[in-house]
Amino acid sequence: MSLRRWEWCLAAELLLLPLLLLATNTQDHLTSAMTVVSGSNVSLQISEGLPDNYEQLTWFYTIDQKIVEWDSGKSKYFDSKFKGRVMLDPQSGALNIYNVQKEDSSTYLMRVSNATGKEQEWKVLLEVLDPVRAPVIKIEKTEETNNICYLKLSCVISDQSVNCTWYGDSGPFSEACQNSALELRVPEPQKYSKFYTCQVSNPVSSKNDTVYFTPPCTLARSSGVDWIASWLVVIVPTILGLLLI
């Protein structure tokens, strides 16, 4: 073999090495990822069926923390923060976790082996998020000059890792609510709305606050309709009460 050729072979082998490592590793699968709201019940499971005739099945929270192990027909639950909150379904291999908390977020591992000792491993990604906290609209300024109403609203949000959008009666505005106020000059056709809503959301929840606009330049925290409704709730029983006396 000439030196050239030998060098070429070596290079080819070095290139192949990672491929070979990958090939021996194909028994690892990342099957699913889920994002849920804290307090929910989840079922971690793989989409494909379990291997036939498996002998042992283990769920791990992290690589060195076992949650439950199923062996020869018996489930053994380990001392972990999951104790009393998990239940293994040996039929499907699903790990049911009740009342999940933010700290339960992890890449869970399920390891299955059969009589020949052949192991397979699945990864299931779980992300637990708290629901967003309600935003509060702050009316920074309302000012009327020369029949132009100038409004400045800001949306106070307690958690920055949310998406925040302003809405009017014709849909969302392009302005984001994070760290910036909504400035309006009414009449300004695109911006005129009977209400202004600030909505915050994360992948699992959404909350909003609304203020109501009355021309020419008044903002109120509740609409007139709501006010009439609450007025009726008080007044009607009072009148009925008086009639009955």
- Round to whole Å and give the CA distance between 131 and 36: 10
- Round to whole Å and give the CA distance between 174 and 184: 13
Residues 158/132, Cβ–Cβ less than 8 Å: no
Q: How many residues does the chain have?
A: 245
Report if residue 199 touches ligand NAG, rule: CB under 6 A. Answer: yes
Task: Please choose, out of 150-158, 194-202, 219-227, 230-238, the segment that lies near ligand NAG by the rule CB under 6 A.
Answer: 194-202
- Residues 46-85 touching ligand NAG, rule: CB under 6 A, are 51, 53
Q: Kindly list the distances between the CA atom of residue 88 and the CA atoms of 49, 59, 131, 163, in Å, as whole numbers in the listed order.
A: 15, 9, 27, 36
Site string for ligand NAG, 4-43 (x = CB under 6 A): -----------------------------------xxx--
Task: Please choose, out of 42-50, 66-74, 157-165, 234-242, the segment that lies near ligand NAG by the rule CB under 6 A.
Answer: 157-165
- The residues facing 44 across adjacent strands are 95
Phi and psi angles of residue 104, each rounded to the nearest 5 degrees, phi first: -80, -5
Residue 114 C-beta: closest distance to ligand NAG, Å: 4
Report if residue 178 touches ligand NAG, rule: CB under 6 A. Answer: no
Residues that bind ligand NAG (CB under 6 A): 39-41, 51, 53, 98, 114-116, 118, 120, 161-163, 167, 197, 199, 201-203, 208
